[in-house]
Structure formats: structure tokens, C-alpha cells
Amino acid sequence: MALILAFALVVVMVALGAYYFQSPYYSGVDRTPAQPVPFSHKHHVGELGLDCRYCHTSVEQSSFAGVPESEICMTCHSQLWTNADMLAPVRDSLRDDKPLRWRRVHDLPDYVRFDHSAHVNNGVPCEACHGRVDRMPLTTQKKTLFMQFCLDCHRNPAPRLRPPDAVFEMGWEARRGVDRQQLGERLMARYHTPSTERLTDCSLCHQ
């Protein structure tokens, strides 16, 4: 009797654990941290059509995409919406020379190495990891960023690679009638994408 009870307990624990580790609460999917200014990518990217690089300047040069300083907001908001309360923290930050504290939306554990420039310059689009940013009124995490997520692509990047001029675009699709896998394989040859062994080697991401 006790044995059955104990066994049942273990099963329940495992089931609860599995539920927990799959849940958005653990993975962070759909997490939308409150920001000091309610910045909208939907407005700035979806409607105004700004390019990611106008604000995330270092994404092509470094491991780090970079979140814009207040000065970048002020290149436009020195003239537009100059009295909006919503933007007061930005103006104060520039005046007092104190950076705004944006809260992180995506954060990998410190034992994982990640590099933006290595992806963006080799045909991996922002959209593959961040989703349709141009439709987000507030920035939200859309992918789990678990090891499984990274490996799904590292095992077969072809169908997700894009030509260089489409990396920053949202909602890009290959022309109709084009075989996505074949196009991807041609792109892999062009980008000299490393082999599957290399891309799934533990030391690539854990050093």
C-alpha cells in the first residue's frame, strides 16, 4: 500500500514538474515586463517603418544588439510629442545624463554564449528569435529561448535563412513557387554556414 502511494506521489511530482517547466511562467513566453516608458514597436516599426538598426545600432557589429540611449529617442522627440507626459522620463534622462533603465525582456542564463552579429550577418532574421516585433504595442518575449529552441534551428537552419536584405524585415516570405529548403541550402553555401556537427557542438554555446 505504502509503495503504491509513494509511487503515485512520484508520478504526481513528475507531472507537476513537467507542467511547470513547459508553462509560460517558466519559459518566459508572453512575458511583457513593465518599462519606464511604454515604448511601442508597433508604432515605430510597424507604422513608421523604422529599421531595427536605427535604434539597435550594434546588432551587426557585436554580440550585443544594444538598447537605444535616450539621445536616440530625442533625435525625433526633440520636435515631436515634446510635451507628452509619457516621454518625460526620456527627457529627464537626457537632461540629467542618467540612462533610462529599460527592463530586460530576453535574458539567457550566463552559462550560454550568444552572439547577435554572427546570426544577423549570416542570414538569421530577427523574426526567427523575436517574432513579429512590428506588431507588439509592448515588447514581449515570443520564443522559449531554451536549448531545444536553439538546437531546432542549428540542426537545420536552411528553411529559416534569408537573403541579407531581408534579415531586418518582418514578415518576409520567399517568392511563391520557390522551394524554401532549396533556397535555404543555396543561402547556406553563400554564407558558408558551419556544419551540423559544429553547430550542435556543446562548446559552441557552453564555454
Partner 1 sequence: MKYWSWWLLVPALLCGCEQPDMADQPRLETYETGAAFNDGLAARPVPEGTVARDQRPAATENPLPINAETLAHGREQFDVFCAPCHGRNGRGQGVIVQRGFPAPPSLHRPRLRRAGDRHFYQVIRDGHGAMYAYASRVPEDQRWAIIAYIRSLQLSRNARLEDVPRDHRPLPDTGEDPP
Residue from 39, 40, 70, 79 touching partner 1 (CB under 8 A): that is 79
Sign of CA dihedral 12, 18, 21, 25: negative
Residues in contact with ligand HEC, total (CB under 6 A)? 76
Angle 70-77/88-96 helices, nearest 10 degrees?
Answer: 120
**50-69 residues near partner 1, rule: CB under 8 A:** 50-51, 53-54, 57, 64, 67, 69
Q: How far is the CB of 47 from ligand HEC (least distance, A)?
A: 6
Contact of 59 with 117, CB cutoff 8 Å:
yes
**What DSSP string runs through 28-43?**
-TT-----SS---HII
Q: Residue 200 corresponds to which amino acid?
A: T
**52-111 residues near ligand HEC, rule: CB under 6 A:** 52, 54-56, 59, 64-68, 72-73, 75-77, 80-81, 86-87, 90, 102, 104-109
Picked from ligand HEC, partner 1, none, the partner binding residue 160 (CB below 5 to 8 A depending on kind) is ligand HEC
Which residues lie below 8 Å from residue 113, measured CB to CB, with a gap of 6+?
A: 204, 205, 206, 207
**Would you count residue 140 as binding ligand HEC (CB under 6 A)?**
no
Nearer to ligand HEC, 7 or 63 (CB): 63
**111-170 residues near partner 1, rule: CB under 8 A:** 111, 165
Residue from 48, 164, 172, 182 touching ligand HEC (CB under 6 A): that is 48
Q: How far is the CB of 81 from partner 1 (least distance, A)?
A: 9
Q: Shortest CA distance to 38 belongs to which of 100, 97, 83?
A: 100
Contact of 63 with 115, CB cutoff 8 Å:
yes
Burial class (CB within 10 angstroms; exposed 0-12, middle 13-18, buried 19+) of 52: buried
Picked from ligand HEC, partner 1, none, the partner binding residue 162 (CB below 5 to 8 A depending on kind) is none
Q: How far apart are CA 148 and CA 162, in angstroms?
A: 21
**Would you count residue 9 as binding partner 1 (CB under 8 A)?**
yes
Only one of the segments 4-12, 91-99, 126-134, 173-181 lies at the binding site for ligand HEC (rule: CB under 6 A); that segment is 126-134
